[in-house]
Amino acid sequence: MKSERALRGAGGSGGLGAGLKYTSRPENMNGCEEGVEFLPANNSRKVEKGGPRRWVVLVAVLTVFLALSLLAGLLAWHFQDRNVRVQKIFNGYLSVRNENFLDAYENSNSTEFANLAKKVKEALKFLYSGIPVLGPYYKTSTVTAFSEGSVIAYYWSEFDIPKHLVKEAEQAMAEKRMVTVPPRARSMSSFVMTSVVAFPSDPRKVQNTQDNSCSFALHAQGSEPTRFSTPGFPDSPYPSHARCQWTLRGDADSVLSLTFRSFDVATCDERGSDLVTVYDTLSPVEPHAVVQLCGTYPPSYNLTFLSSQNVLLITLVASTERRHPGFEAVFFQLPRRSSCGGYLRGAQGTFSSPYYPGHYPPNVNCTWHIEVPNSKNVKVRFKAFFLQEPNVPVGSCTKDYVEINGEKYCGERPQFVASSRSNKITVHFHSDQSYTDTGFLAEFLSFDARDPCPGSFMCNTGRCIRKELRCDGWADCTDYSDELDCECNATYQFTCRDKFCKPLFWVCDSVRDCEDGSDEEGCSECGRGRGGGRCPAPRGLAAGPRAPAESSCSPGCPPNTFKCDNGKCLPQSQQCDGKDNCGDGSDEAKCQDVKAVTCTKHTYRCLNGLCVDKSSPQCDGNEDCTDGSDEKDCDCGRRSFTRQSRVVGGENSDQGEWPWQVSLHAQGHGHLCGASLISPSWMVSAAHCFVDDRGFRYSEHSMWTAFLGLHDQSKRSAPGVQERGLQRIIKHPFFNDFTFDYDIALLQLDRPVEYSATIRPICLPAADHTFPTGKAIWVTGWGQTQEAGQAAMILQKGEIRVINQTTCEHLLPQQITPRMICVGYLSGGVDACQGDSGGPLSSPEADGRMFQAGVVSWGEGCAQRNKPGVYTRLPVFRDWIKQQTGV
């Protein structure tokens, strides 16, 4: 989870061995043998006439000729291939015994450095000369750095290897070796190198020793942080096609902590990317890479990495022309811990992976022996668990893992519990030499085996949850065990065939809430005594546990009833009665004779001043105003793609599904807020996104870039994405930074966008437009997908419902104003979260158009029970928007 954006595990060996894939030789040989068998020589005797015999001879001669040509070709190819040489560069490190580290070794211009480097090079030459697959092809070696341990030398060696020997040579280099160079004179001692190992490297990453223009060596100053950055940061972009490296060192017996405070390099995409790699060594070797980063990270993103020794190497390989500010980072040293883990005793306590929530160091093994009082049992609850490594198949914990009771856990996991049948438990944590993550935070607790969850319900996973959450229709235990074997309360619950309980008003609402679909069966009588609300999507922007559901039921309605666009069945008499009985306005949408009435705050005022008694007549496909003004300016709220967007059970949006959704990036921070497009030049967002904070001028329009038509944050240069600056930010003059009242802003683009398949405006609701309680609407954004989790790369969507204002005022006392609307679920589960702010609430209205119901504003946490998200009500601001923008 932590490093969704991190392009970790990209292979370092590039196009290695591409030529070796050529395998046509055996097939050609088979073809040749078949040809010879086709006309065996003794067959000719059976041919009686002279003519046919000549034929046979001719064919035989031709066949032999062809076979010989083929053989000659194959031989030529074979020998030519043997002569083709490939330049191979191997990066490696080794340990020099019987040498002590000198400070001068940190300076590659010192005589001491040159002397030791010479000896290492001689020893390497000596070593390679004894290896048949390497010796004859060896060209040169360069020592790039030394560090403590007796002395560790970092080097690269160059070879010109026949193509067909490349694989063998790579294997030979990867074998850890030891070399003892015999002394030249009796008085001298031999020169011993151990752990000599090297890996093929991308020649682009080998620093040219002559070019030090972007090479920096830094040594930590005491425990003070040392700052460094890409050249020109933040005022100018780092050079295109740059090759930069930073060698970070600490004192012997220290480890380093490195934090990227701001990170914005070119996007990682298939057209090439600029890549920053952090290595846990001073050689840029893939098996010791800690992380690979590209793209832009928000400041909240955890980019702290720990080393296992006193060195780190950072490389920047820029392969694009794109202009980005680069990064700013700090590092400092810490005393190296001799061990981690240990004995934990008592009734309860907490522990975590080393340096949590920073990325744990590579190469660590920690064991915690936990013991609670004798009469009790012990369980360990993992509150956060992030041990994700690239290229590890799901379920196989072959790299970093936690092991408890013989079972290994790895990857990213929601909260879980492991328990023991005694008062002791042992937790072992292992990280291998490459790629790290933020690790885990855990607590151990003692419990009475006879009553493991006093006063609560125990999930099959061992977790305890409140008793009231049992059989409430929501999967509070991640394994659904709280919803198994339920006896539903018939007065307000429906019993699914699989015995899950669901709220009665979810029955026949066109949404499949029971896993087995039984809530949507036999719905011909739907509408009778059953509520019309739809069920929430199971997962959303910030998702909590929720049973999967999908839309499947579209029941017909009984005679003399009307079927709403949302599937509800109503008595025919309620159609065109001037009231929105369906909740989506569809029962009022196609009425012929809407009469002009006295204007009230519940009527719609046409351009000619007359009012019609119809809720939300705008852009519904019917001319309700005599002047037709309710159907003017209706190029909004529609997608270009006809694909039905109601995909319940998934959270990624489809490309172009929300063409009005905009991503706002602040310079050096990446995506921070959402916005919605309302015209070619204007967008709506949240005012709180543009408040100066901690020295950053978020209120400055020049700090922001808007991405329109964006789907994947890592593909901001994809075709169809339009990038614009801001010309003006108009925060609502009454916006209150403390209460978040009037949390709305209008943003003018520096240049109009062109509408396209993936860029279109959303409709603005009229001032009298209502979004009734229970109405299902969509929230979208790239915000965090879990509270305190990580921002999404792909635009997320979640279906939520309008909550009654009075209910919301009770849930969030003294905080809700008439400018706010609460939308979500009292049971939690689907919600907006940090990073979604400013984005739209899209409400499907009549005639298949989306109207903006609100702007993501605030909430207490994300997706929590009884804490719905709070949004700025859009209709309240309709006149202000018109006045400010003309839209």
List, by residue number, the catalytic residues. Answer: 688, 743, 837
Q: Whole-number minimum distance, CB 279 to ligand 4AZ, in Å? A: 35
Q: Whole-number minimum distance, CB 264 to ligand 4AZ, in Å? A: 20
Q: Where are the beta strands (DSSP E) in 298-406?
A: 304-306, 311-317, 326-335, 341-345, 348-352, 364-371, 377-387, 401-404
- The C-alpha atoms of residue 852 and residue 643 are separated, in whole angstroms, by 20
Q: Whole-number minimum distance, CB 657 to ligand 4AZ, in Å? A: 21
What distances in angstroms separate CA 100 from CA 104, 150, 151, 184, 371, one per listed residue? 11, 6, 6, 21, 44
Angle between helices 24-38 and 50-83 (to 10 degrees): 160
In the chain, % helix, strand, coil (3-state, to 5) comes to 20, 30, 50
Classified as helix, coil or strand, 114 is helix
Residues 6+ apart with CB under 8 A from 882: none
- The amino acid at 169: A
Classified as helix, coil or strand, 43 is helix
Q: Whole-number minimum distance, CB 541 to ligand 4AZ, in Å? A: 8
- Output 495 or 837, the one with its CB closest to ligand 4AZ: 837
Which ranges of 690-811 would DSSP assign to H, the alpha helix?
Answer: 805-811
Confirm if 553 and 511 have CB atoms less than 8 A apart.
yes
Stretch that binds ligand 4AZ, among 139-147, 408-416, 497-505, 834-842 (CB under 6 A): 834-842
- Output 638 or 671, the one with its CB closest to ligand 4AZ: 671
- Which residue's Cβ has the minimum distance to ligand 4AZ? 859
Stretch that binds ligand 4AZ, among 3-11, 136-144, 200-208, 825-833 (CB under 6 A): 825-833
- Output 308 or 837, the one with its CB closest to ligand 4AZ: 837
Q: How many residues does the chain have?
A: 887
- Output 477 or 791, the one with its CB closest to ligand 4AZ: 791
- Output 344 or 833, the one with its CB closest to ligand 4AZ: 833
Interface with ligand 4AZ, residue 664, by CB under 6 A: no
Token pair in block for residue 189: 């001692």
- H-helix or E-strand spanning residue 683: strand 682-685
Q: Whole-number minimum distance, CB 687 to ligand 4AZ, in Å? A: 12
- The C-alpha atoms of residue 395 and residue 390 are separated, in whole angstroms, by 13
Find the binding residues for ligand 4AZ in span 227-256 (CB under 6 A): none
- Output 32 or 826, the one with its CB closest to ligand 4AZ: 826
Strands 439-447 and 348-352: antiparallel
Name which position in 320, 834, 872, 885 contacts ligand 4AZ (CB under 6 A): 834
Residue count, binding to ligand 4AZ (CB under 6 A): 11
- Output 254 or 842, the one with its CB closest to ligand 4AZ: 842
- Output 281 or 296, the one with its CB closest to ligand 4AZ: 296
Find the binding residues for ligand 4AZ in span 846-885 (CB under 6 A): 856, 858-859, 862, 869
Name which position in 96, 808, 820, 832 contacts ligand 4AZ (CB under 6 A): 832
Q: Spell out the SS3 assignment of 531-560.
A: CCCCCCCCCCCEECCCCCCECCCCCCCCCC
Q: Whole-number minimum distance, CB 362 to ligand 4AZ, in Å? A: 33
Q: Which of 169, 115, 120, 166 is nearest to 142 (CA)?
A: 120
Interface with ligand 4AZ, residue 836, by CB under 6 A: yes
Q: Whole-number minimum distance, CB 472 to ligand 4AZ, in Å? A: 21
Interface with ligand 4AZ, residue 837, by CB under 6 A: yes
Interface with ligand 4AZ, residue 833, by CB under 6 A: yes
Stretch that binds ligand 4AZ, among 24-32, 436-444, 640-648, 827-835 (CB under 6 A): 827-835
Find the binding residues for ligand 4AZ in span 342-401 (CB under 6 A): none
Stretch that binds ligand 4AZ, among 14-22, 433-441, 697-705, 830-838 (CB under 6 A): 830-838
- Output 746 or 832, the one with its CB closest to ligand 4AZ: 832
Name which position in 831, 845, 851, 875 contacts ligand 4AZ (CB under 6 A): 831
Token pair in block for residue 750: 């520096």
Q: Whole-number minimum distance, CB 826 to ligand 4AZ, in Å? A: 13
Q: Whole-number minimum distance, CB 439 to ligand 4AZ, in Å? A: 25
What distances in angstroms separate CA 879 from CA 528, 741, 790, 810, one per listed residue? 40, 17, 37, 30
Interface with ligand 4AZ, residue 825, by CB under 6 A: no
- The C-alpha atoms of residue 76 and residue 70 are separated, in whole angstroms, by 10
Q: Where are the beta strands (DSSP E) in 449-568?
A: 456-458, 464-466, 493-495, 501-503, 542-543, 561-563
CA 375 to chain centre: 45
> DSSP secondary structure string, 575-600?
TTSSS--SSSSHHHHT-S-PPEE---
Contacts to ligand 4AZ by CB under 6 A: 831-834, 836-837, 856, 858-859, 862, 869
